[in-house]
Amino acid sequence: MHSSDKFHDECGVVAIFAHPEAEKLAYLGLHALQHRGQESAGIVSSDGLTLRQHKAMGLVADIFTEDVLSRLRGSLAIGHTRYSTAGDSALLNAQPILVQSNKGAIAVAHNGNLVNAHTIRQRLESQGSIFQTNSDTEVIVHLIALSREQTLPDAMADALRRVEGAFSLVIMSADRIFAARDPRGFRPLAMGRIRATEGHTRDTIVFASETCAFDLIGAAYERDVKPGELVVVEAGEITSRFYSTSTAQSSCIFEHVYFSRPDSVVFGRAVQTSRENLGRQLALEAPVEADLVVPVPDSGVTAAVGYSAGSGIPFRFGLIRNHYVGRTFIEPSQSVRDFGVKLKLNPVRSLLEGKRVVLIDDSIVRGTTSRKIVRLIRGAGATQVHMRISCPPTISPCYYGVDTPSKKLIAANKSVEEIREYIGADSLAYLSLDGMKKACGEGAKTSYCTACYTGNYPTEIIDVEEILPAATRR
């Protein structure tokens, strides 16, 4: 699929405190979070005295060779994996950001997007601050450095009170790890523990955007960093403070619909459960007579399992995905129709021929990919194609860390019937807003942001100039 016809997350962060191979655990954690960003990755480690960093463009497994990791040997580490649009891919903006400040060396890794960074940056620059990157994360670093508070945790709390928007942060000094979430808890951040074994005197404390990172490094999930909380880990002690308390939670529901891995626990809830519920709810709300339920792999698979269970229509892998497709591929000069989609997805003719198919996906962005997939399925002999989407139409851009091609959102400009006509399906239905919230357990442990489906944003200030240029996204 063409990359601009999908939503892009954001970033993944990981932090490791007190492990003899912290850099390797950070590397493995980033590998498990690779789906959250594939443009660049970085690790900063500390041996207790000195911070060392390595950042590069590309995938985690390619960047961190044995040789690179041996130079990062440390007992503390934080890591970051990043997505950005093409013009914004500069290594300069890769994270973690490592700076020397009047409060010592600190490294920061950020998932989310600040909505008032532009205003703060202009103010700081007019007062003489010099910025090295065009990333909004650097605003946080400057605010920490300029804070009049005497201790690092106090300076962080002071800085975090001044920024608005989405941030799940891991921050490291030479001998401490800090983890914080914005008061609305837009982005996830989980805390886990590896119990001390023979030879290790103390437990290892870990943080990650998703718990799938814990599974790979043998850590047990303990709890989420709470909205508005700053956790400090130092010398065997974990302390917590709430730098902000008075805001209603609005965690990103799209993490459950689409971004997070189904094997993760996000906002205290198994993503698998939500995603299967979304499919079941969709079967209730938008039933259709058909022979097969077919997912658009991989992201539509779990919702399709739910739709099949809810409707009683058999689930089949009618589209096979090729997992080895790089970013660009050489096309024969005699151009092949729907080449980009065909590279990734191939229909199984023996399953689809003569069948009425319910096709399940988790979003329609521009509609161009859906149109090609519907055409592929018909081309393989399906007699009917009924498209079902496991969330409501996406009508508004996200200002909180998700890359939304706002001008190209098909649902912002067309009715459901017009979209159906455009993609060439026999019928098209989206899940309702209430159905989506119910499927994701709204109110049980979490209240969700649903702004990209409603246009009602939970933050008051949105400094659009800051957010829309690709250079400031994370």
Chain residues in the site for ligand SF4 (CB under 6 A):
186, 252-254, 398, 400, 402, 449-452
Spatial strand order of the sheet with 97-101 comes to 97-101, 104-111, 168-172, 176-181, 229-234, 237-242
Q: Which is nearer to ligand SF4, 25 or 451 (CB)?
A: 451
Q: Which is nearer to ligand SF4, 447 or 450 (CB)?
A: 450
Q: H or E stretch including 310?
A: helix 301-311
Smallest separation (angstroms) from ligand SF4 to the CB of 265: 18
Q: Which is nearer to ligand SF4, 188 or 262 (CB)?
A: 188
CA–CA distance, 283 with 272 (Å, rounded to integer): 17
Is 342 strand, coil or helix? helix
CA-based diameter of the chain, in Å? 73
Is 402 strand, coil or helix? strand
Q: Which is nearer to ligand SF4, 385 or 451 (CB)?
A: 451
Smallest separation (angstroms) from ligand SF4 to the CB of 458: 8
Cα-Cα-Cα-Cα dihedral of 321, 325, 329, 330, to 10°? -70
Smallest separation (angstroms) from ligand SF4 to the CB of 120: 21
The amino acid occupying position 446 is: T
Smallest separation (angstroms) from ligand SF4 to the CB of 18: 33
CA–CA distance, 317 with 360 (Å, rounded to integer): 11
Q: Which is nearer to ligand SF4, 139 or 451 (CB)?
A: 451
Which residues form the catalytic set?
11
CA–CA distance, 471 with 474 (Å, rounded to integer): 9
Exposure string over 450-472, b if 16+ CB within 10 A, otherwise e: bbbbeeebbbeebbeebbeeebb
